[in-house]
Amino acid sequence: MMKLNVRILVASYRRSDVAMEIYGRTDDGKSVTALYFGFQPYFDLVNPTDACLQKYRLDEQYVREEEKKLWVSGSDQRVIRIYVKSPWLVPQLREKCQDVQVLAADIPFHHRFIYDMDLGSCVEIEGQDMPDERQNYTTDYVLRIQNIRNIPEFNPPLKIMSFDIENAIQKGPDEEYGQIFVIGYSLTDGKTIEKGAVSGKERDLLRDFVKLVNSKDPDLLTGYNIDGYDLPVLKYRMERNGVRFGIGRDHQSPHRVQGQYWRLHGRIISDTWWGVKKVLHPKHESLNYVSRELLGEGKDNINRLKIEEEWATRPDEVTQYCIKDADLTLRIFQKIRIVDRNMFMSTVAKLPLDDVTNGGTSNYVDSLLIRKADREGIGVPMTKHNYKEAPIEGGYVHSIGAGIYDYVVVLDFKSMYPSMIMKYNICFTTFDPSGEIVAPNGVHFLARERREGLVPRLLKELMDQRDAVKRQMKTASPGEKEYLDGVQGAIKILMNTFYGVLASSFYRFTNLDIGGAVTAFARKTITSLIEKLKSENYRVIYGDTDSIFIESGASSDSEAVKVGMELSERVSRDEGVTVEFEKVMDPLFSHGAKKRYAGKIIYPESQKGEILVRGYEVRRTDSFDLQSQALSHVFDLVLDRNIEGAVEYKREIVDKIRKGDSSIDIESLVISRTVKEFRSYKEEKSLANVRIAKMLMERGETFIPGMKVSWIVTNSRKSPQEVEPYIDGAEFQGKPDWDYYARRVEETLDRVLEGIAEDYVSAESQSNLLNFGALKDQPDVKANRPVADAEEGKKQTSLFEF
């Protein structure tokens, strides 16, 4: 017998004997495969007839059945649990009785095992060594699980391999992808980095790559756009050459899941490109651009569009180019800390790292909610499909008037929707027409004394857990503090994910009346507070789903901070929810559009002097840099109360652009936008981003749906406007339409200035503003003279839009 402390990285099962496979890394850095035998798949039938049960009993997949009592749709019901042999056949077995409600029949088998065993992210495994299984796995240990229990979390250094392929652009008439010339890699174990490449005859290099992965035994494979390019190319060329793509820890091949991501037994596949998109939202997404921005170092100079010629004339340089691409990717992957982020969520959601890396957010909620439901005898419905949801009335928005405001205090409701769920006991288990708690939308919930809701209780546990972690941070060492901060941040994300998933159209526990009750209570809380503050002669200048902006009336920084602290404490006490004093801005500016403002932060001290901008083009990735830079400068001037200077700067920069001044960097004119599958667009010929993607493909550049493409407008007078691709690192040969760019900048700046400097806005631009959908019928407002408050609601389809 041996005992190992293991961080669970991947969980799966093998079909031959339905053994559960737990893959992980130990606290002393060894890789592990742990096998569990005898766990059987099952699902539940609600009040099935004898005829229905007989269909299952006669099926060769039938193993046994159990009668249980589960709470289903408001009452205890007779439920028959059916155990079967093969988890992959459950989807068809559950369809045998169309008129019987089926529960828990869509939970992935490895999740079912984790939930039933109540496993966390780190476990102690006690078991027998299995020498006969060593040949079937690449890990240091292979053992049979005798006992398994949860232990405190630890984060072992993972072995990460980044790889990159170079293959021919030109291909045969019957080929989907051209021949692979070389595969470069960069590998780290957390301490050292090893770099290299495999090349030679294609069949040999493919075999060598499989051997390389299995001998190095990485926990995680990454690359730059391997999801959409390198892996499909490798899979295709392996099949064409008759080579088994057996790079899993069980020597199995990677497989695509629902066209969204790749799964591989024992190893995590995490595309750095997707991580960059999610974390950084860069203007350009090429490896060259991102590596220069993050690492200060770009790609080597190889002409990818003439790769056949480059390989024939200088193969050594191409090999080094390929290795460097893999290494740059690895360093970017480490820089943006994808593994750390996912480790924290893995700990909080009690899931293997792979399921957090590649699974949806509903998995996080499932992991906690299903465990609790199972242990409390509550039936777990299946995920809804083809469900048309009516709109949920959204969060309240108290519109902001145009003007410049002094000493603005910002109060933030701590996790507004979770707070409403906990305060009013909102849950599918308390949803009852006889309930004492009545939501503003007319929905009733049981009082906590009659039945405490499952979801409120779970959220309370998470909130208490987060508060405990934050208390630990106060006395922790710097290293411990960083770890704990990651954990508390993951808990906050999970809590917010919770109500978002519960109010979506697809989730298994969704009920639109319940989702509507959450937002209705939130609106009532915000509006009641605003009215109360008004009655105390405070000016509420803006409010949205979970925050309120109040003009404090203070005459100094310290006085404004004092007002913020007093209001936070009093409102928290009176409203029964936690309201945090978030910041003070002096001044705060808006041109009067909803959710658009800019302010100079004076509190907290750690952010003092920073400019906070919301809703304007400086935060939009599809604006061009010159537009963002000009707008930022205008904000600086406006927040210094130099309105005349802002107007003068606008005139100067617009004139400079219209003349095509040579000092303007061409790259600052680039517009970028993501392109989806072409078939998802109805009018693709009129869309610049789609046309650019097709141009790039015609020129031999790689394009994968989901990529961001870049262009410069060369003639806006034609319809559709003429555009030319911009490729990072390549010289732009076209001529920008300077009038177009001048007009765009002028419109952007005039939107900002129109409410506080109307006399200076050009008549031409005012006309353009109307054409571009700007606000009409603006009231006559001068600087420091805010318009009257206006309240408005909003329709939305789910809580994800908040």
Separation of alpha carbons 5 and 149, rounded Å = 10
Position 253 scores a pLDDT of: 96
- Is 383-592 CATH 3.40.50.10490? no
Transcribe 54-96 into DSSP letters: HHHHTSTTEEEEEEEEEEETTEEEEEEEEEES-GGGHHHHTTS
DSSP character for 397?
E
Q: Is the Cβ–Cβ distance between 458 and 369 less than 8 Å?
A: yes
pLDDT value, residue 390: 52
Q: Give the residues across from 590 on adjacent strands.
A: 403
Question: Which whole-number Å values give the CA distances from 249 to 219, 280, 437, in the listed order?
Answer: 9, 32, 53
Cis peptide before 720 (omega within 30 of 0): yes
What are residue 175's phi and psi, to 5 degrees?
A: -100, 140
Q: What pLDDT, on the 0 to 100 scale, is given for residue 757? A: 65
Angle among Cα 631, 660, 734 to the nearest 5 degrees reads: 105
Residues 6+ apart with CB under 8 A from 291: 297, 298, 299, 328, 331, 332
pLDDT, residue 620, reads 61
Q: How far apart are CA 19 and CA 11, in angstroms?
A: 11
Indicate the fold that domain 160-336 takes in CATH.
Nucleotidyltransferase; domain 5 (3.30.420)
| Residues 6+ away with beta carbon under 8 Å from 330 | 160, 162, 186, 187, 188, 193, 222, 272
**Domain definitions of the chain by residue range:** 2-150, 160-336, 383-592, 618-771
Tens digits of per-residue pLDDT, 683-717? 777 889 999 999 888 887 778 788 889 999 999 99
Spatial CB neighbours of 802, under 8 Å, sequence gap ≥ 6: 394, 395, 417, 500, 545, 546, 796
Question: Residue 108: CB partners within 8 Å, gap ≥ 6?
Answer: none
The set of residues, in sequence order, having a beta carbon less than 8 Å from that of 489 and lying 6+ positions away, is 344
* CATH architecture of the domain formed by 2-150: 2-Layer Sandwich (3.30)
Question: How far are the Cα atoms of 353, 455, 464, 483, 491 from residue 469, in angstroms, in the given order?
Answer: 21, 21, 9, 10, 10
Stretches where the chain sits below pLDDT 50 are 387-388, 759-802
Find out if CATH 1.20.1250.20 is the number for domain 618-771.
no
What pTM did the predictor assign?
0.84
Query: How many whole angstroms separate alpha carbon 719 and alpha carbon 702?
Result: 27
Q: Are 186 and 161 in contact (CB under 8 A)?
A: yes
Residue-level pLDDT at 140: 97
Query: 3-class DSSP state for residue 173?
Result: coil
Starting at the edge strand found earlier in the chain, the sheet holding 708-715 runs 671-674, 708-715, 722-725
Q: How far apart (Å, rounded) are the C-alpha atoms in residues 47 and 594?
A: 52
Q: How far apart are CA 118 and CA 427, in angstroms?
A: 23
Q: In this predicted model, what pLDDT tens digit does every residue of 792-801 receive, in sequence order?
A: 333 333 222 2
Tokens linked to 635: 């904000």
Q: Are 4 and 124 in contact (CB under 8 A)?
A: yes
146 within 8 A of 36, measured Cβ to Cβ:
no
582: its two tokens: 């978030």
Listed in sequence order, the residues at least 6 apart from 412 whose beta carbon sits closer than 8 Å to its beta carbon are 546, 547, 579, 580, 582
Cβ-based neighbour number of residue 201 at 10 Å: 10
Residues 148 and 6: beta-carbon distance below 8 Å: no
Q: How many CB atoms lie within 10 A of CB 134?
A: 14
Q: Which residues are CB-contacts of 603 (< 8 A; sequence separation ≥ 6)?
A: 557, 560, 561, 564, 583, 584
> Which stretches of 386-477 are DSSP H helices?
416-423, 454-473
Alpha carbon distance 441, 439 (integer Å): 5
pLDDT of residue 621: 59
| The pLDDT of residue 619 | 55
Task: Give dist(CA 57, CA 63) in Å, integer.
Answer: 8
